[in-house]
Structure 1
Amino acid sequence: MTKRKLIEVALPLEAINKESAREKSIRHGHPSTLHLWWARRPLAAARAVLFAQLVDDPSSRPEEFPTEEAQRAERERLHGIIERLVVWENVRDEKLLAEAHAEIVKSAPKDDDGNPVLPKILDPFAGGGTIPLEAQRLGLEAHASDLNPVAVLINKALIEIPPKFAGMKPVHRDDKGGLLADDRAFWKGAEGLAADVRAYGQWMRDEAEKRIGHLYPRATLPDGSKATVIAWIWARTVTCPNPACGIEMPLVRSWWLGKKKGKEAYVVPTVVADPSHKSGRRVEFTIGHDVAHAPTRDGDGTMHGRTGGVCVSCSTAVSTEYIRDHGRQGKVGQTLMATVAEGNRQRVYLAPTAEHIRAADVSKPTEVPSGEVATNPRWFSPPAYGLTQFADLFTNRQLTALTTFSDLVAEARDRVLDDAAATGMPNGAPLADGGTNAQAYADAVATYLACVIGRLTDYMSSLTTWASNPQMEILRNLFARQAIPMAWDYAEGNPFADKSGSVAKMVEAVAKPLEYIPASPSGTANQADAAARSFANLVVSTDPPYYDNIGYSDLSDFFYVWLRRSLRPVLPGLFSTMLVPKAEELVANPYRHDGKAGAERFFEDGFRDVFAHARGSASSSYPMTVYYAFKQSETDGAGEASTGWETLLEGMIRGGWEITSTWPLRSERGGRMISVGTNALASSIVLSLRPRPASSSTTDRRGFIAALEAELPDALRKLQQGAIAPVDLPQAAIGPGMAVFSRFAGVLEPDGSKMTVRSALARINEILDQVLSDQEGDYKPDTRFAITWYRLHGYEPGKSGEAENVATARAVVLSDLARSGILTHRGGIVQLISPSDLTGDYDPATDHHISVWEVLQHLIQVLERDGIAPVGDLLRAALDRPAADIDADEVKELAHLLFRIAEANGWTKDALSFNTLVTSWPEIVDVARQAPALAPSTQGAFSFDSED
């Protein structure tokens, strides 16, 4: 019998989303710092999804959990594990991870001898490696594949290489040639490997400084002392088109350098006479600090977006096309505007000097990476300005530094090999051939050092800019978004400065994650086309590319050309091509597939092929999980709204899959309520799917709707019990609805045609509204009246005659409702009392006319005024009444219902209040559970398990 997994029933979604959002601010030890990749899935989400995908839902084990109450209590226990698992600080909690692994083992199928057969996890679109890494963290064998060699390299560095050398001591020597001074007896996981990456990375830095350090001179401060330069700020220049001017005009986005209060700094351009220039004049730059004369806004430079720029001397407008033409002819120059030096706990901004201008005037190295930048203007603007080769994206000094560091990777590898041999380690086979001894270890360290070079390129190009915001004044990396944009004023960092963008920072960013990754069990990462690789005996969890959101192959060429220069001898199979393979990449690129229509056909056909191929050997014991990156609605040929979401569902169903759940994932807390009143989807969605049996029958529209009406109420109740946010409920409810739709071979419309996904989604939403409305019948008459009146008027006034009719239909009296504190009734006007109108001295123990409606309003009022703890105390007091008039679940379900009403009417403030209460519910209940102890009858209202 197929057992339903936890992900197919309920998830603690708010906890997952909360930690996924918080993770974005974490860098210390996070694997994302090892090497840049675009649109990584949060570790917290991947860890939670994998656990829920592999663990049985209690309803599938009725012999252990025979009642709904017992199942709910067990489900809450499993949710508690997830809520702890997703917290970043727990990623190295071995006891917790062992507890989670034990649950996976308990749910695993058994072999003929009764032993559990643990699942092996595959991500065929592995990208940045989040899913395979989290599978490994849960104690499972992980398999990753991707067509992109940069992605494969990242996955090798995360899941394949560390287990080969887990527990190994570092091999590097101290300054006297002896063994490492920190020669402790036990090195956990990949800590020894991390120590060697740091040591040989430091050696590379020091050796490079000996060779090219003179290209990065120190700055002279106003007091005559010397200071290390952090960066040089340059501006590109073109000749002013005004014949009467002809100056070399700087192209500058912003004159600002630093905006910290009291320490403001900005560039001041001044036109001065200079006979050595063709025009007889030039622009001289000094540093200003007087706020009264500072630029009025951040973009107040000479460049005005896409419209072009203006000459700083004569104010002549300069078109974008004029600048592009200069670029294509190689006539764009550059001029130094400022030097940023290290000061006493602050940046010191200095005017340009001849010494620093000369230091940057170096010849281009003879051997630089070759390769053309893609010309898709959506992602790549530099080619339009003549920067067509990857080498064009760097200054000559940067090319000199990067080629020097690249060459040193090979030299560092030789040193590692000698040091490893000196410890007695056998030579063995290279890493590419599966070796685990000295040669392979030297290759492994070289691989991580090459990642250091990859990270450096993100901070060491002529497209890197300077951040002048008050929080930090640092180099801003090139890939702030998923594109290579043009930069007019750029910051050239000092790789030896030990500040942002330096070698030291990059080495630590690569080494630190190695201390946080599990380094066991074994993992494999291979370059493979997802449509051709084997899925046999593997459980799939994957985050495939979506349409044309990101041009992975074109973007990753930026890193590939440098990684290939360092690692082709180490991983020859992975770096055999000049650039990243592109023809089979599953991205809807109109520049590669004959326009938009051809690109969409290519993507949709390829997507279906992959998942139809996976369907042929899919595991029957576990669902597959697929992440979907939301793409907004578009318009089809008939002028009707269509979405990629529908296309995805249609492709899955046609590929033979049954969709068993859909869960909205959010990692942007700031815009959490943007969906209120707009029906916007989450930033991404994860689906669980199972193979649809070949024997599945068809049904008609009536049969489909009957099945929805029978199954959605119970599924909705489980979703609400899982503390799902009201804003996410409609999207999550699609899961059980699509589970009904996709289990049939087809749903036939009255005309004999098959029902489309779009039509099915409309029916699901109709039933969802009906189910939520039916929940009104669970409430007592006073609350039912308030719900109906809120639907009609919100918290605004209405006429008492209309209110009398509504009250009569629900067998309540308006004067009683007024005395009970639900509404006011005076002068022929009836108005619900809103949370903001409440006094704040409410005591449920003395309320003789208490209602679920009234308790909800007071909870919202206290939450918005005082926070979680007082709300928990208030909820406890309401539940602790001797008659147990109030049920906690009813309060939460009422908030769900009212959110739906508020959202439909565009009452955003109300919707936010209801949503916030539900998302805070787990914490509120935790407080309510605390002393004073609850009476046994009240525990039933909470649905507490006897073990709580």
Structure 2
Amino acid sequence: MTYPKRLIEVDLPIRRISHASRSEKSARHGNLSTLHVWWARRPLAACRAVIAASLWIDPDDPNASPAYLSAIARTLREFAEAALMDRDTRPLLGETDQFWAGVARTPADTLAGEPLKLRTALLEVVALSSAWQAASNRLVLGVLETLTLASHASLSPVSPRPWVIDPFAGGGAMPLEALRVGADAFASDLNPLAVLLNRVSLEYAPGQQQGFASEVRQLGADVARRVSAQVADLYPADASGTKPIAYLWARTVRCEGPACGKPIALARTFWLTQRAGGVGVKMHTPASATEPTFEVLVKPRTDQVSRPTVQRGAALCPWCTHVTPVEQVRAQLSKDRGGADTATLMAVVVENANGARSYRAPTPQDLSGVARARERLARLRESHPDLLPDEALPPKGALGFRVQNYGITRFDHLHSARQLVTLATIAQTLRALEAEGVAEPLCATLSLALGRLQDLNSSLCTWADTVVGANRAQNRVSMVWDFAEAAPFAGAGGSWEGQVDWIVRVLEHIGSTVPRAATVVQAPAQTHPLPDDAAALLATDPPYYDAFGYADLSDLFFVWLKRSTARPHERFAQFGLDGKTPKELEIIVNPEVTREGVPRKDHDWFYEQMRQAFAEARRVVEPSGIGVIVFAHKDTKSWEALLTGVIDAGWIVTASWPIDTERPTRQRALGAAALASSVHLVCRPREDQAGELQVDAIGSWSAVLAELPVRLHQWLPRLAEEGVVGADAIFACLGPALEIFSRYSEVQKVSGDIVKLPEYLEHVWASVSREALSMLFSGAQTEGLEADARVTAVWLWTLAAPTSAGELGAEDDAAGESERAEEDATAGGSAGSNAGFILDFDAARKIAQGLGAQIAELSHLIEVKGNKARLLSVTERVTYLFGAREAVPTAKKAAKKKQMTLFAELDEVAEHQGWGAIGAPSPGHTTLDRVHQAMVLFAAGRDEAMKRFLLQDGVGQQSTFWRLAQALSFLYPVGAEEKRWIDGVLARKKGLGFG
């Protein structure tokens, strides 16, 4: 390499950056993520730190110029002196203040001659800059910019600042932080919603201090005055003059029981809050009545609150107890376009003058506002039909949408009549402001409040204990049975004023911390608008394969945003002929959906479009530049598609860093692999100094395979020291593995056959599995362990995570209850069991193969269903372990077992085999079987049988038995039954005389 390495290619303080990234999610006010909805946003902390480390030259590189070393030595010394004296900055130094005191005492000339100390100082700046408070600290921002300009001057003195490009700009985190560290940024995206978000945050807000934000707030207040006057009668106050802040509804179907036909208000719970003793609803359904009535109870007993009326999508009639199946519930709601306007009002939430909230039963006055809204909507459809979003929802099977089976087939079906009237009135008012000459940046920015409001004002919103929850459970649009309707001008959660305030806070923060604007354009990543060799850094977060249908989900907002302007083609530049966001060139995997004029988006499509996108990015990045690509997906096929596209586009992977970006408190599917980290791949163009793609570097397949385990042996322990384990560590190993493979234009076997990346990745997984096993058992201690034990150990290690973080985008999953219920009912099965530990089948296959095993030969241990593989729980193996060896219990049978009778079959086997009172079961064939047998005996309370089992036949004398038991104790998740059982076995070890 003729160019000096960047800092990120040598080292990165990932533990501290990870901590800052997780903590940032609690810093809500002013955070870019609160400007508007976007999917899988990257923490600003990670973006800022990674971009800075990518722009700065490593001081210890032999190609680093003396001028650069002198410049950063002066800068770091001056920063140290100032930071130690500044009361706002010194707390950011934390435990490193003594290090900075040493830097401050060292003369700049001396410091310039200590490149390793300079590297350490740069890494410390990277770490402290990732803190949320650092984003608004003048000293930190100043040193970031100065270091960036010094590095750039050493590399490319032609332009004053380095250009950072992001062709998948999305929510704008990467380009925003590029500006903050002193670079210029070029943000592009195909999606018009993303472009609007980037224009607001990257063009309109930077350098505006408080002026622009103040104008937006004033304009928002003007809109509130105009619209609230027009819709006030739709949200009437009660007899005491108290205005509601939310209405709680239940979709309603008719009982299909014999001679019944009465209405069933569908509710997954009748508890409104569990705080301070709780508030619940009692539904009264006397036989003589034709409609239910509702009573709100404060601090009720559990038996006073009505039981849920919907289970797994089926409706339970409170009048006659008949169960109307989910297919008929769906059919009834389909006739009513989802049933938003045939729902039953159960309760009303009000807020008194001092801000205290309370609940009451609905009154006729409440329903009068709904009736007026329906009348007004009918008139609106005649006079201004263009204000109502009548565009069709995506076709069935589209990523993120699960409501079409309920008759919700257009975007206006997502809302009740009152919600439609209010949203349309706001859109009409925003148009009027535009006609009155209000500046486009102000109008465009304020339209985001309409987008945010729409998200909290649909019939798919939930009541989340005390606030209205958004309509996107796990970033999917799913049916909910009981929904919450906010009063948009009541000043509470879900209100217009609240949405304007969130936006203004972001504008204030950006305006005071980002001095320059970026360049924002709408363009597909496959055809980048910049010329050759224009950028110093590619920093991007490309689409996550099949995780999100970005364009379809964006249409939830776009259909309203475009109605807030009379000139949508000027504000959004380009959108589809169907009036929605463009889909043809969107790079995702969604093969089940076909659209006219849109190609089938399968694995091959994703790969080819990624290859084109990154080939364009390589063209735009100068030969001395680098790239950082963020990716987070647990499916191995998605990684193969992305990485093959990157390497075939002419990039060399030089490093990879996993940064833990998820909060520990987020939900996680128990026993399933979940990435807590986003892997940051660092790349270089595989070009010569003239910028031409190198095509003559041929690698030897045998040499590559020989180097691979050596690199992984060096890398995995470093990850473990940083707290990176499991699936995060596996994917983090892709970087060093690809450093070996991607440096060549081709890798050839002795036969002359060219090795493709998927074949190499098979070997990477195998090597990672073997190295992980070696770490778990200290190398040679794996001797004597059979294939089932090896696979189990690495399988559990793969599921381990540094936090209990959930999948990307996971939210409160109450809103997805009906969707899951429908899927369960349609499949005709039970809700299933969380027993066992789940991996994607392809990942499980690669792990097993790497350890010398085949999944098909482990059917007594592993269950395969579709594209998932499940390591059976110990409980499910009881019959196999103690009974007939060929008996393999099914998950369905195991799911039906009750804990209190869990080991009934063990009792039967013990009695049948004659060891119940005095003997012990026959030891299993493998070490894992014998360990599992001991665990079951402990769990069943058969201490004497377990003692005899360990003492006779020498089971307890086998060192492999205890090594495996100790490893499983470490690997089982805290709180799992298996963890408690194996620890119980280990606790008996010394007492039985085994040391």
Assess if the C-alpha contact under 8 Å between 2:457 and 2:486 holds in 1.
yes
Deviations 1:478-498 (A, max 9, x none): 124311111221111111111
**Given the alignment, which residue of 127, 150, 156 partners 1:106?**
150
Counterpart of 1:574 in structure 2 is 573
Residues 1:271 and 2:278 are matched in the alignment: no
Counterpart of 1:668 in structure 2 is 662
Counterpart of 1:385 in structure 2 is 406
Calculate the TM-score normalised by the size of structure 2.
0.67
Which secondary structure does the structure 2 equivalent of 1:753 belong to? Answer: coil
**Deviation, structure 1 residue 127:** 0.8
Deviations 1:837-894 (A, max 9, x none): xxxxxxxxxxxxxxxxxxxxxxxxxxxxxxxxxxxxxxxxxxxxxxxxxxxxxxxxxx
Residues 1:201 and 2:210 are matched in the alignment: no
Which secondary structure does the structure 2 equivalent of 1:556 belong to? Answer: helix
Counterpart of 2:364 in structure 1 is 354
Counterpart of 1:645 in structure 2 is 639
Which secondary structure does the structure 2 equivalent of 1:622 belong to? Answer: strand
Counterpart of 1:882 in structure 2 is none
**Deviation, structure 1 residue 698:** 1.7
Residues 1:532 and 2:532 are matched in the alignment: no
Counterpart of 2:478 in structure 1 is 485
Residues 1:407 and 2:405 are matched in the alignment: no
Counterpart of 1:154 in structure 2 is 197
Counterpart of 1:499 in structure 2 is 492
Counterpart of 1:889 in structure 2 is none
Alpha-carbon distance in structure 1 between the residues aligned to 2:473 and 2:668: 23
Alpha-carbon distance in structure 1 between the residues aligned to 2:667 and 2:38: 28
Residues 1:309 and 2:315 are matched in the alignment: yes
Counterpart of 2:135 in structure 1 is 91
Change (3 A) 1:314 1:722: closer
**Deviation, structure 1 residue 573:** 4.7
1:560-639 superposed matches below 5 A: 560-569=558-567, 571-574=570-573, 577=576, 578-593=579-594, 599-633=602-636
Deviations 1:154-203 (A, max 9, x none): 0111101224xx44xxxxxxxxxxxxxxxxxxxxx2x1111111111111
Counterpart AA for 2:615:
A
Counterpart AA for 1:373:
L
Alpha-carbon distance in structure 2 between the residues aligned to 1:394 and 1:709: 57
Deviations 1:794-844 (A, max 9, x none): 9xxxxxxxxxxxxxxxxxxxxxxxxxxxxxxxxxxxxxxxxxxxxxxxxxx
Change (3 A) 1:273 1:310: closer
Change (3 A) 1:602 1:58: same
Alpha-carbon distance in structure 2 between the residues aligned to 1:708 and 1:336: 64
Assess if the C-alpha contact under 8 Å between 1:272 and 1:282 holds in 2.
no
Alpha-carbon distance in structure 2 between the residues aligned to 1:575 and 1:696: 41
Assess if the C-alpha contact under 8 Å between 2:603 and 2:641 holds in 1.
no
Structure 1: gaps (5+ residues) = 168-188, 275-279, 418-441, 634-642, 777-785, 795-900, 913-948
Change (3 A) 1:375 1:303: farther
Counterpart of 1:144 in structure 2 is 187
1:669-688 superposed matches below 5 A: 669-670=663-664, 682-688=676-682
**Given the alignment, which residue of 928, 946, 970 partners 1:908?**
970
Alpha-carbon distance in structure 2 between the residues aligned to 1:54 and 1:759: 33
Counterpart of 1:323 in structure 2 is 329
Assess if the C-alpha contact under 8 Å between 2:270 and 2:305 holds in 1.
no
**Deviation, structure 1 residue 369:** 2.2
Assess if the C-alpha contact under 8 Å between 1:219 and 1:341 holds in 2.
no
Change (3 A) 1:316 1:726: closer
**Deviation, structure 1 residue 764:** 5.4
Alpha-carbon distance in structure 2 between the residues aligned to 1:678 and 1:160: 42
Counterpart of 1:545 in structure 2 is 543
Counterpart AA for 1:451:
L
Calculate the TM-score normalised by the size of structure 1.
0.70
Residues 1:237 and 2:246 are matched in the alignment: no
Which secondary structure does the structure 1 equivalent of 2:60 belong to? Answer: helix
| Dislocated runs of 4+, deviation >6 Å | 65-69, 594-597, 671-680, 709-717, 765-776, 786-794, 901-904, 909-912
Assess if the C-alpha contact under 8 Å between 2:584 and 2:599 holds in 1.
no
Alpha-carbon distance in structure 2 between the residues aligned to 1:133 and 1:205: 30
Alpha-carbon distance in structure 2 between the residues aligned to 1:479 and 1:48: 30
Residues 1:692 and 2:686 are matched in the alignment: yes
**Deviation, structure 1 residue 711:** 6.5
Counterpart of 1:452 in structure 2 is 449
Residues 1:218 and 2:221 are matched in the alignment: no
**Deviation, structure 1 residue 83:** 1.3
Greater Cα offset, 901-910 or 561-570: 901-910
Counterpart AA for 1:509:
W
Assess if the C-alpha contact under 8 Å between 1:413 and 1:445 holds in 2.
no
Alpha-carbon distance in structure 2 between the residues aligned to 1:229 and 1:247: 29
Alpha-carbon distance in structure 2 between the residues aligned to 1:21 and 1:404: 39
Cα root mean square deviation, aligned? 3.7
Alpha-carbon distance in structure 2 between the residues aligned to 1:238 and 1:736: 58
Alpha-carbon distance in structure 2 between the residues aligned to 1:670 and 1:764: 29
**Deviation, structure 1 residue 245:** 0.9
Counterpart of 2:927 in structure 1 is none
Assess if the C-alpha contact under 8 Å between 2:282 and 2:305 holds in 1.
no
Which secondary structure does the structure 1 equivalent of 2:655 belong to? Answer: strand
**Deviation, structure 1 residue 616:** 3.1
Counterpart of 1:252 in structure 2 is 267
Change (3 A) 1:70 1:147: same
**Given the alignment, which residue of 273, 278, 295 partners 1:286?**
295
Counterpart AA for 2:521:
N
Change (3 A) 1:337 1:528: same
Counterpart AA for 1:749:
K
Counterpart of 2:461 in structure 1 is 464
Alpha-carbon distance in structure 2 between the residues aligned to 1:135 and 1:193: 22
**Deviation, structure 1 residue 665:** 2.4
Change (3 A) 1:219 1:911: closer
Greater Cα offset, 586-595 or 494-503: 586-595
Change (3 A) 1:219 1:69: farther
1:680-759 superposed matches below 5 A: 682-693=676-687, 694-705=694-705, 707-708=707-708, 723=722, 725=724, 731-759=731-759
Alpha-carbon distance in structure 2 between the residues aligned to 1:239 and 1:568: 43
**Given the alignment, which residue of 514, 522, 529 partners 2:517?**
522
Alpha-carbon distance in structure 2 between the residues aligned to 1:526 and 1:736: 34
Counterpart of 1:827 in structure 2 is none
Which secondary structure does the structure 2 equivalent of 1:532 belong to? Answer: coil
**How many residues end up aligned between the 2 structures?**
722
Alpha-carbon distance in structure 2 between the residues aligned to 1:406 and 1:321: 37
Which secondary structure does the structure 2 equivalent of 1:619 belong to? Answer: strand
Which secondary structure does the structure 1 equivalent of 2:349 belong to? Answer: strand
Change (3 A) 1:908 1:226: farther
Greater Cα offset, 568-577 or 544-553: 568-577
Greater Cα offset, 570-579 or 680-689: 570-579
Structure 2: gaps (5+ residues) = 70-109, 688-693, 786-962, 975-995
Counterpart AA for 1:196:
E
Which secondary structure does the structure 1 equivalent of 2:343 belong to? Answer: strand
Deviations 1:610-661 (A, max 9, x none): 112323343222211111121334xxxxxxxxx3223322222222211111
